[in-house]
Amino acid sequence: MRLDDGIEAFRKALKETVESYQLKPVIVEQGIVESVEEGIAVISGLPNAMFYEVVKFKDSQKGIVIDIGEDKITAVILEKDVNVELNTPVYRTGYIVSVPVSEKLLGRMIDPLGKPLDGKPPVETTTYYPVERDAPQLFDRDFVKEQLYTGIKVIDSMFPIGKGQRELILGDPSTGKTSIALDTILNQKDKDVICIYVSIGQRKQSVLDVYTTLKKYDALKYTVVVCATSDQYPGLQFLAPYSATAIGEYFLDRGKDVLIVYDDLTKHAFAYQSLSLLLKRPPGREAFPGDIFYIHSRLLERACKVKDGGSITALPIVETQAGRISSYIPTNVISITDGQIYLDTGLFNINQRPAIDVGKSVSRIGGKTQIPALKEVAEFLRLYYAQFLEVEIFTKLGVKVFGETAQIIRRGKRLRELLKQPKQKHYQVEEQVVIFFLLNEGYFDSIPEDQVNDRADFVIKRLKESYPEVLKDIKVSKVLTKESKEKIRTVAEGL
């Protein structure tokens, strides 16, 4: 090709490009900060702003519109290192606050906006889910049919949790609420359940301890940690559980079973209380705003089992003071959820751990999810335990008991010992079936109380060595056959 031909071709291409180019006006709506206090900015000049829309301050720092007035809007500043001053320009973005979602989030620790907190590069994705999303419609939901196993004997047997259920964990500070939720996450290993742990208003060290435990037990490969610590603005703490739920909905839409732990909704309520007071909203009961029930109900209603798809199981945690479960936030969340697991300080102090109060705990729908084998051996455990606690009082008064009453006390004490379980020690459902079968058969009645758990573990060990098909059969067939019972008795009697 001659040089002149090349130049002519270039001129022609350049001319076509210039002629086809169209100048289009870019409309940018700009407002201005009129006042700022404690992470709350009052802005004028953005009359078309939407509720929950992201606005940008200088240096592209973000805020969220949380209140709309006649001529002004109020935005929550999400990052504490943002130096927003009077007369700072503010720009609309036109999109509602969203969080990046991807399979690559597994194993990561992020903040509610999707920014990495683990020192690794940002998650690369083009998919974003809005943090606020309508809960699935009634006709899109399915019945809760399958149990989500915690690996904790007292919960799986007496207060079973179904996939798609919302089960509240509540109790006083330092009674083991987070430990139960963390053990439940650890027990999902190799069970094809995606776990999300969201920390709301916790100390950084507490979140680091959880992250370290998950890493130690190789649970990060199926877990996402969403974190908004106590030193961050209330706006980010308020946003955290909604962002975590949006991430869960991404996996739900792909047919996965998801477990979300909200730790905890008491601090979430306090964060929203602080926001509302700064927004000059009138306080109601216990100084909480009038819509405090709504913010938790719209969050937890997003947990469900969908037809021909996955599920989101919610484990919200609520902190009580001096055991007062009748205070405002606990009663609110109790009325929203499908049951509660109550941890008692008195039980914790006498080393009954997990310190679950059997009388005040309940699972309203989880019993329908139990496999026949577990239901057979655990159906009357709560009744037996309640009878034991009722008659045990007489022995503390020095009254001698005989016959049937003595038998109730003897077996009840051993049941109480069996319900004790150290952290990070999990029992699979087939192992629990064997243990409670032996209890009902009276095998532990003649064994000293402090040796019951060791003997139960030894029976399981010997059963795996002598008749490994028994545990496998219970797991696969989900029933306890006569042949399996005979083999369990043979192993137990041979010790």
Domain of 55: which CATH number?
2.40.30.20
Structure tokens belonging to residue 21: 């180019």
Q: Are residues 317 and 393 in the same domain?
A: no
Residue 200, helix vs strand vs coil: strand
In one-letter notation, the amino acid at residue 457 is D
Query: Does 228 fall in a domain?
Result: yes
Q: Are residues 380 and 364 in the same domain?
A: no
pLDDT higher for 100 or 7?
Answer: 100
Using alpha carbons only, what angle is made at residue 340 by residues 334 and 343, rounded to the nearest 5 degrees?
115
For 423, residues 6+ apart whose C-beta sits below 8 A from its C-beta are 179, 182, 183
DSSP classification of residue 450: G
447, with CB counted inside 10 A (0-12, 13-18, 19+), is middle
- Residue 259: name the closest of 359, 341, 189 by CA: 189
Q: Are residues 217 and 283 in the same domain?
A: yes
Domain termination site, one of 323, 345, 370: 370
Q: Are residues 336 and 434 in the same domain?
A: no
Query: Does 19 fall in a domain?
Result: no
| Orientation of helix 468-477 relative to helix 482-493, angle to 10° | 150
Reduced DSSP (H G I as helix, E B as strand, rest coil) percent helix, strand, coil of the chain, to 5: 45, 20, 35
Per DSSP bridges, beta strands 53-56 and 89-96 are antiparallel
Q: Are residues 93 and 106 in the same domain?
A: no
Q: Are residues 285 and 412 in the same domain?
A: no
**Tell me: the pLDDT tens digits for 80-119?**
766 788 888 898 988 899 999 999 999 999 999 999 998 8
Hey, which residues are catalytic here?
A: 364
Structure tokens belonging to residue 264: 């905890």
Query: Does 4 fall in a domain?
Result: no
Query: Does 379 fall in a domain?
Result: yes
Domain termination site, one of 370, 393, 423: 370
**Tell me: the pLDDT tens digits for 230-243?**
888 888 899 999 99
Residue 200 is part of a domain; what is its CATH number?
Answer: 3.40.50.300
Q: Are residues 278 and 389 in the same domain?
A: no
Q: Are residues 283 and 341 in the same domain?
A: yes
Q: Look at the block and give the residue holding tokens 């109380």.
A: 449
Domain termination site, one of 336, 370, 404: 370
Query: Does 14 fall in a domain?
Result: no
Q: Are residues 157 and 245 in the same domain?
A: yes
Structure tokens belonging to residue 5: 């031909």
Per DSSP bridges, beta strands 311-319 and 72-77 are unpaired
Q: What pLDDT, on a 0 to 100 scale, did the predictor assign at position 79? A: 75
Q: Are residues 176 and 216 in the same domain?
A: yes
Structure tokens belonging to residue 371: 């496999």
Query: Does 12 fall in a domain?
Result: no
Q: Look at the block and give the residue holding tokens 């022609």.
A: 12
Q: What pLDDT, on a 0 to 100 scale, did the predictor assign at position 470? A: 93
Q: Which domain holds residue 322?
A: 100-370
> Among 27-31, 152-156, 302-306, 453-457, which stretch is predicted with the lowest mean pLDDT?
27-31
Q: Are residues 354 and 388 in the same domain?
A: no
What's the alpha-carbon Rg for the chain, to the nearest Å? 28
Judge whether residue 333 has pLDDT over 90: yes
In one-letter notation, the amino acid at residue 212 is T
| Orientation of helix 482-493 relative to helix 429-440, angle to 10° | 70
Q: How many domains does the chain have?
A: 3
Structure tokens belonging to residue 336: 């929203």
CB burial readout 278-312, b (16+ within 10 A) else e: beeeeeeeeebbeebbebbbbbbebbbbbeebbbb
Residue 479 is part of a domain; what is its CATH number?
Answer: 1.20.150.20
Judge whether residue 328 has pLDDT over 90: yes
Judge whether residue 17 has pLDDT over 90: no
Q: What pLDDT, on a 0 to 100 scale, did the predictor assign at position 82? A: 63
pLDDT higher for 318 or 399?
Answer: 318
184 in Cβ contact with 151 (< 8 Å): yes
Query: Does 1 fall in a domain?
Result: no
Q: Are residues 364 and 425 in the same domain?
A: no
Judge whether residue 220 has pLDDT over 60: yes
Query: Does 5 fall in a domain?
Result: no
31, with CB counted inside 10 A (0-12, 13-18, 19+), is buried
